[in-house]
Structure 1
Amino acid sequence: MNRTRQAIQRIGFCALVVAALALPAHADALPAGFVRLADVDPSIRQDIRYAGSDNFLHRKANGYDAPVCILTEQAARALGRVQKAIAAKGLALVVFDCYRPARAVADMGEWTREGGPPDPQWYPWIKRGDLIAKGYVGQLSSHSRGSTVDVAIARTDRTSAPKLACGAVDAGTLDFGTGFDCFDPMSETVHHPLSNEAAANREMLVDAMRAGGFKNYAREWWHFTLEHEPFAKQRFDFPVAAE
């Protein structure tokens, strides 16, 4: 009887080991094909605005449980190549948003329907309720496919950024004419007029990202999508979480 009981215990123990090995390494393991950018290129700066209150919502967006950039592996590696190309100039990429859960997109849409006056920092000439109709907030977002990134270029010495009236500015970013998420025609990539410096910086960013395989969204100088994205017809809703 004792031998039988010991055999059963050994079988049970082996089963537990196999089951443990089959579990993901982390409780919040990412879907297949996704990575955290820091695991691919930790030198890219992350300033994930929707994980805090410094954004047009003035609060955390639903689904952002941590200020981390998650992308498809292809997009993360392509972004790493862009980073390597500009690093020799004393420059670095800074990302403001990467993968965006579908629940966050819905949250933003619901927020616009609450209505309200223009916001001097984020949408100075448009009422909140008109942001979807004007195309500044989408009811669907390419970010939810995992290969879209909102990005700027910064100096590696992190010198002070210019004081801009509209949008978010990360310390050390170059002058792009507006900050990230400025909902205004000035954010269009080839908007005129712009200062010579801002126009040159936008052109440099577009050229660097294009060389890395990304295409720009013409209405937002900061918005880029990997041309050959792996999930072009699929949207995801897992939360943005740290390891």
Structure 2
Amino acid sequence: MRRIRTASRAPLAAAAVLLALLVAPAPAAQAASPAARAASGQGHEPKAPEEFVALRDVAPTIRQDIRYFTEHNFVGERIDGYRRPMCIVTEDTAKALARAQRSLLRRGYTLKVYDCYRPQRAVDHFVRWAEDLDDEKMKREFYPRVEKSRLFEDGYIAEKSGHSRGSTVDITVVELPAKPTRPYRPGEPLVPCYAPQDERFPDNSVDMGTGFDCFDTLSHTDDPRITEEQRSNRQLLKTTLERQGFTNLPEEWWHFTHKPETFPDTYFDFPVSRHSLRPHR
């Protein structure tokens, strides 16, 4: 291309450039990446369908001890997707829990939930952790008799969870008046989850034979090795919830699903947060 000489017009060109800089609008700020928006709590997160509610809005007397919002769980850190320590479930599930709670209150007990709706991103967090065989910092408490390499094969970890459909809860029974519980201190000495109740991490639940999320066959609801008192406590929870349409997972005394499920085939990924919910009707 032929070059055009402009040396004689340099003063005029410089003046034009200066004028353009003075009147030009300021450059727009660079848009934040999706990851940056997520980290700052901004962006368009998925919302829950209108069938989901906060359990506290329906059954405010049920205690909540949402373990995956804390570091006291088998991973040892807060789990992805838990923005608030709250229980979210489908409305049918919440109403059934409220009926079960009224029944237990008359007998001097209360329900307490450890986990409710669980976003798919939390399940993905579990899977990543399970694939990292070097991370065993919580092994002594939660899976002392199970090799981490077998967690998938033995069914303790899976790529999908019924919790993500909104009708499943992890739950226990507490005798009233409820005793206070101390917070978990990261790095504190760990005790096996199947140890006697007065030795393992303090929980105001009645004695169920193991702690919550104990990856051990002693957690099987009808395991024959538990004491009569522990069996009675597990049956109190099981029969109370079964009367309201819940089904127990035989391998976990704490795991119950309300049937029929509102969303039997859908796995949701909205965060555990009040902002995920529609205004309560």
TM bin, normalised by shorter chain, reads: 0.7 to 0.9
8 A Cα contact 2:47 2:270, kept in partner: no
Which amino acid in 1 is paired with 2:148?
R
Secondary structure at 2:99 match in 1: helix
Would you say 1:115 and 2:133 are equivalent positions? yes
Which amino acid in 2 is paired with 1:35?
V
Structure 2: 5+ residue runs without aligned partners? Answer: 1-44, 182-190, 195-199, 276-281
Where does 1:44-193 land on structure 2 (aligned, <5 Å)?
44-116=62-134, 117=136, 119-159=139-179, 165-166=192-193, 171-193=203-225
8 A Cα contact 2:46 2:270, kept in partner: no
| CA deviation vs aligned residue, 1:74-126 (integer Å, no higher than 9, x gap) | 00110010000110111000000000001100110110000135811000111
Q: Give me the whole-angstrom Cα distance separating, in 1, the residues matched to 2:202 and 2:111.
A: 11
Shift of 1:154: 0.3
8 A Cα contact 2:175 2:206, kept in partner: yes
Higher relative contact order (CA 8 A, sep 6+): 2
Alignment CA distance shift 1:170-1:83 (3 Å)? farther
8 A Cα contact 2:219 2:252, kept in partner: yes
Shift of 1:160: 7.1
8 A Cα contact 1:56 1:122, kept in partner: yes
Task: Give the equivalent residue in structure 1 for 2:188.
Answer: none
Superposed structure 1 runs of 4+ greater than 6 Å apart:
none
Q: Give me the whole-angstrom Cα distance separating, in 2, the residues matched to 1:91 and 1:173.
A: 10
Secondary structure at 1:218 match in 2: coil
Secondary structure at 1:105 match in 2: helix
| CA deviation vs aligned residue, 1:127-162 (integer Å, no higher than 9, x gap) | 22321111111211000000000000001212378x
Q: Give me the whole-angstrom Cα distance separating, in 2, the residues matched to 1:84 and 1:36.
A: 18
Alignment CA distance shift 1:201-1:171 (3 Å)? same
From 55, 60, 78, give the equivalent of 1:42. 60
Larger radius of gyration: 2
TM-score by length of 1: 0.84
Q: Give me the whole-angstrom Cα distance separating, in 2, the residues matched to 1:169 and 1:72.
A: 31
TM-score by length of 2: 0.73
Task: Give the equivalent residue in structure 2 for 1:228.
Answer: 260
| CA deviation vs aligned residue, 1:161-203 (integer Å, no higher than 9, x gap) | 8xx7307866321000001100000000000111110011111
8 A Cα contact 1:115 1:127, kept in partner: no
Q: Give me the whole-angstrom Cα distance separating, in 1, the residues matched to 2:74 and 2:203.
A: 18
Task: Give the equivalent residue in structure 2 for 1:3.
Answer: none
Which amino acid in 1 is paired with 2:83?
D
Secondary structure at 2:139 match in 1: coil
8 A Cα contact 1:34 1:70, kept in partner: yes
Farther off after superposition, 115-124 or 183-192: 115-124
Secondary structure at 1:153 match in 2: strand
Q: Give me the whole-angstrom Cα distance separating, in 2, the residues matched to 1:205 and 1:131.
A: 27
8 A Cα contact 1:176 1:202, kept in partner: yes
8 A Cα contact 1:156 1:172, kept in partner: no
Q: Give me the whole-angstrom Cα distance separating, in 2, the residues matched to 1:132 and 1:67.
A: 27
Which amino acid in 1 is paired with 2:260?
H
Q: Give me the whole-angstrom Cα distance separating, in 1, the residues matched to 2:201 and 2:87.
A: 18
Task: Give the number of equivalent residue pairs.
Answer: 216
8 A Cα contact 1:57 1:111, kept in partner: yes
Q: Give me the whole-angstrom Cα distance separating, in 2, the residues matched to 1:203 and 1:169.
A: 23
Structure 1: 5+ residue runs without aligned partners? Answer: 1-26
